[in-house]
Amino acid sequence: MLKPFTFSVYFPGLKGRDGDSFVIGEKAIVHFSTSSKELGVSVYNGLLALQTHPLFNNTLLVERINLERRVFIQEESAIFKTMAPVLVNNKGNADWYLLPREEGFDEGLKFAVKEAARVFLGKADVSIEFNPIQFRRKVVRHYNMAMQGFVGVFELRGSPAVLNLIYDIGLGVRRSQGFGMLELVRQGPYGEQPAFQGGAHE
């Protein structure tokens, strides 16, 4: 079942690996985005009520919650930067993830976007065009599986409704597991002067 949210986690004190573990420091910054106002309100109120939470042998302390200014995409193209690796698979092999310019990537990406638009926008037929600007391969270990994704900057072309949905819930698959979250760099086609600068998530 598709979920109307995505998130990303950043560890400013990350120092690298220590055997099979990571030394992440004492602070985590979590970004959360959703297309559902009800879910957004529930998460916000839940975090306000949650002062501490046990996690393994540690305790999480909620230090600060920020609601950031929402930017609505009004153009039919926009430049995005990944805040978390993007995973794209092919419907014929759900456990094999593809990179931009690989065979089957465009088909898998369009299928994921169309499914999201069908579920959350009620639109059965939408189009999306992906133009990679700068990207690199990123392998993430998740549920004891090595998953190949990509991070970087790219242009998306489509209707404003579809671009806003992607901005709200992320791009690709496994979005609700911490993949596919995007930062809006600017609106307008790649190579042109920006209509206005990008913004952040709620």
Q: What is the model's pLDDT at position 192?
A: 63
Stretch 87-101: mean pLDDT: 87
Alpha carbon distance 27, 84 (integer Å): 18
Backbone angles phi, psi at 42, to 5 degrees: -65, -45
- Tokens for 183, please give them: 């930062």
Q: What is the model's pLDDT at position 16?
A: 73
pLDDT at 194 over 60: no
pLDDT at 41 over 70: yes
pLDDT at 12 over 90: no
Alpha carbon distance 116, 39 (integer Å): 17
CB contact at 8 A, 133 and 190? yes
Q: What is the model's pLDDT at position 119?
A: 97
pLDDT at 128 over 80: yes
Task: Calculate Rg over the CA atoms of the chain.
Answer: 17
Q: What is the model's pLDDT at position 198?
A: 46
- In percent, the amount of the chain with pLDDT more than 90 equals 65
Angle at 6 between CA 3 and CA 8, to 5 degrees: 155
pLDDT digits (tens, 9 = 90+) for 72-91: 999 999 999 999 999 999 86
pLDDT at 202 over 50: no
